[in-house]
Structure 1
C-alpha cells in the first residue's frame, strides 16, 4: 500500500512516517508540506492512501481532498488534525478515518486495519468483475466474462496508443525513452515526461474503472514500464495457441475446431487503429490466418465437403481477391456444384479486378481452364 503524507509541520510528517514504518506492506512514497504540490505529484506517485492535515496554508485539507479525489478517483483519505469539529465534513468526503493529534500507535493500528480491509474488498470487487478477455482483432475492446464487449473511453488518443503499445509488448519492459520518442517527439524531455506520467495515471484509472486486472509495473531501476497481463485473457494469444493445437493433430477430428478458430478472426490486428509499429505483427497474424484457411479449404475440397470448401474459398477471396489459385479453386467448385452463373460472374469479376487494379490480364492457366469449361458446361444461362 502506497501512502502520501500532507502536513505543514515537518515534525508531524516525521512522526507519521516513523509510526508507519512499523507496518509490513506499507510504503510512504511522498511527504509534502504543500497540498497543491502533493496533488500535482499524484499521477507520478500513484498513491493508494493520503494522510491529510485539515489546517494547511493556502489550501485547506477539506478543499485539497476534493481536488485530490477529482484528480485521482478511488484514493483513500485519512484526516490528521488537532481539532475534532471537522469530523462530519471529513466523513462526508468518505474519509476512511479521522485521527487526532498527537497520534498514538494503538489508534493508528485501527486505521491501518480499516485501510487493509477496504483494500481487500476493492480487490474482491475487481476480481469478481474482471473481464475475461482483451480483444485485439479489428479494434481494442474489453469483454467481461459471459458479457458483451466494451470499448474503453480514453482521455486522449495518445493515452489509447500508449496502452495499446504496452499491450503489444505485454510482459516486456518498455524503456521510458522509447515511449517519449514514440508519442511526444515534439516536446522537450520535461514536458514529454509529464505527459507520460499523466497518461499512465489515466490508463490505470480507466483499467480500474472497467475492472481490468492488468497492472502497469513501474520499473524504476530499468527506467521503464511493463503491462502485466498474466491474470487476463488475450484473444490473439488464445487464437494462436488454438491454431497450433488444432492443426497439429488429425484434420478429420479437428477441422470443425479449426474452422471455428478461423471464424474468430474478425479483422486484422488493431486494424481500425492503424498504428505503424503494429504492422509486422498485423501481417504475421494475417498470414497465419491465410495459411490455415487455405489448408482447411484444400482439406474440405479433397474430402468432398464442397459446401464447407466453398465457404472457405469465398472468404479467402474476400480477404485476398488477387490470389489466382484461390480464385480458380472457387470457380471450379462453383462449376462442380452446378452454380455455373456464379462461376462465370466470379471469373469476370477477377478479370476486371486484374485489368483495372493491376493493369495485367488474368493468368493463362485460369483463362485456359475457363475457356475449356465454357465449351463443355452451360456457364451462361
Structure 2
C-alpha cells in the first residue's frame, strides 16, 4: 500500500480528492491537513504527499523542500489551480503536477507514475558508502572527487551553489541571501527558479553517490550537512580550532595543513562572495606559519628558514620575515645569502611600494657590511 497525506488550506478542495483517491486500492490515505505547518512537525511516515501550492500559512513549494530535506524518498504530487508553478514544481523533483479539478482518469496516470517511481527507488536502495569515499579540494579551484574520480556538476552555477553551501556548511542560510550572492541584480522570481534548478542538479549528483540528504531545508533556509574526513579547507579550520600550542604531538599535522594551502580559497573559480572567506583562510595559514617558525627556531634553523620562505611567498613585503631570516642566516654564518636576501627585499618594496626597509632590517644589513 502507498501511504498518502493530503495538504490544502481549503478543506472543500480536500474532500473531492479524498473520494477520488479512495477508488484506488493501492492508496492508503493516512491523514489530511488544512494547516501546512502541522506537516513539518509530523514524522515523515508516508510515501506521497498531494500538496497545494498557494496556501496562506505556508507556500507549498517551501513545504515540499522541507519534506524532502527530511526524507528524500517521499514523492511529491502538486495539486493546484495555478499552472504557472509547473517549472518550479518539477525542479523540486515532484512526481506529478495536477490542475484542479482533478479527474479520476488523470489520477490513474499519477498513481501509475507513483508505483513505478517507488518500485524503482526500492530496487536501487543500497547501504550508504563511507564518507571517506568523498574528497574535496577547495584551495585553488573547487574539485570534488568520489572514489578518486572527479565529479562533474551539470552547470557552473550548480557548482557555485554547492561551493557556497559548503563554505557555510552546518549553517542554515536564508534563501534570499543565497539568491543575493549568486544571482545579484536579477529578477527575484526568475532567481528563485534558478535556485531550485541548481538545487535539483546538486541533489541529483549527490544522490547518485548515496549522499541523498546532505542539503536540508527549513523555514526558507538551506543547510549543507557534510562531515568529511578529506577536505583541505575543513582540515585547516579543525587545526585552527583545536591546536592552541604547537608541539611534537601536532607539528606534523600543522605542516600537512600548511602544505595543503597551495593557492587561495576557491581562487580560480572567481566567486566574489568567497573573497572574505579566502582572506580568513589566508590569515589562518599565516598564523600557523608564524607558530611553526617559532617552534623550529631552537630545534632546526634550516626548517625555520624553509617555513619563513613559504611565509614570504604568501606575504612578500613583511620586514619582520626578512629580519628573522637574516638573523638565522647570520647564525649559520651564511653572510652572502643574508646580503642577497636583503637586496632582493629592498628592490622589491622600492619598486612595488616606493618605500625603504625598516630600520631593524637596515641595521642587520649594516652589521653584515661591517663584518
TM-score by length of 1: 0.68
The superposition leaves residues 318-350 of structure 1 with CA deviations (integer Å, 9 ceiling, x where unpaired) of 111111111121223334334444323221110
1:220-259 alignment to 2 at 5 Å?
222-230=219-227, 234-248=231-245, 251-259=247-255
Q: Structure 2 CA distance, aligned partners of 1:225 and 1:164?
A: 13
Aligned to 2:311: 316
Q: 1:19 aligns with which of 27, 30, 34?
A: 27
Which residue number corresponds to residue 86 of structure 1? none
Q: Which residue of 1 aligns with 2:278?
A: 282
1:137 to 112, 136, 139: 139
2:122 paired with 1:117: yes
Q: Against the structure 1 CA distance between its residues 311 and 338, is the aligned structure 2 distance closer, same or farther, given a 3 Å change threshold?
A: same
Match of 1:173 in 2: 172
Describe how 1:82-161 pairs up with structure 2 within 5 A.
97=116, 114-115=119-120, 117-121=122-126, 124=127, 127=129, 131-144=133-146, 148=148, 150=150, 152-161=151-160
In 2, the alpha carbon distance for the partners of 1:229 and 1:319 equals 30
Inter-partner Cα distance in structure 2 for 1:38 and 1:14: 27
When the two structures are aligned, how many residues end up with a matched partner? 313
Deviation at 1:317, TM superposition (A): 0.8
Rounded to whole Å, the distance in 2 between the matches of 1:140 and 1:96 is 39
SS in 2 for 1:21: strand
DSSP 3-state at the match of 1:365: helix
Q: Which runs of 5+ in 2 are unaligned?
A: 5-16, 31-43, 50-75, 99-104
The yes-or-no answer on 1:327 pairing with 2:322 is yes
Do the aligned residues in 1 keep the contact of 2:79 with 2:97 (CA within 8 Å)? no
Does the CA-based 8 Å contact 2:346-2:356 persist in structure 1? yes
Counterpart in 1 of 2:54? none
358 and 340 in structure 1: CA distance in 2 versus 1, 3 angstrom threshold: same
CA deviation profile, 1:241-269 (whole Å, cap 9, x unmatched): 234444436x2443333222322223222
Q: Is the CA contact (8 Å cut-off) linking 1:139 and 1:272 kept in structure 2? A: yes
Residues 236 and 185 of structure 1, relative CA distance in 2, 3 Å threshold: closer
Higher relative contact order (CA 8 A, sep 6+): 2
Which position in structure 2 is the counterpart of 1:361? 356
Task: Tell me what 1:30 maps to.
Answer: 77
CA contact (8 A) 1:131 1:232 kept: no
Please name the residue that 1:307 is paired with: 302
Q: Secondary structure at the match of 1:127?
A: coil
**Cα distance per residue 1:110-138 (max 9 Å; x no partner):** x96x45632522xx2x5258633333222
CA distance in 2, matches of 1:25, 1:231: 31
* Structure 1 counterpart of 2:293, from 297, 300, 310: 297
Q: How far apart in 2 are the matches of 1:307 and 1:246?
A: 24
Contact 2:326 2:341 in 1 (8 A): yes
Change (3 A) 1:286 1:341: same
Kept in 1: contact 2:89–2:97 (CA 8 A): no
For the residues of structure 1 that align with 2:22 and 2:336, how far apart are their CA atoms? 86
Q: Could you tell me whether the CA contact under 8 Å between 1:214 and 1:230 is conserved in 2? A: no
**Structure 1 residues 25-70: Cα deviation after superposition (integer angstroms, max 9, x where no partner):** 312321579xx999745544324x6799xxx99xxx8xxxxxxxxx
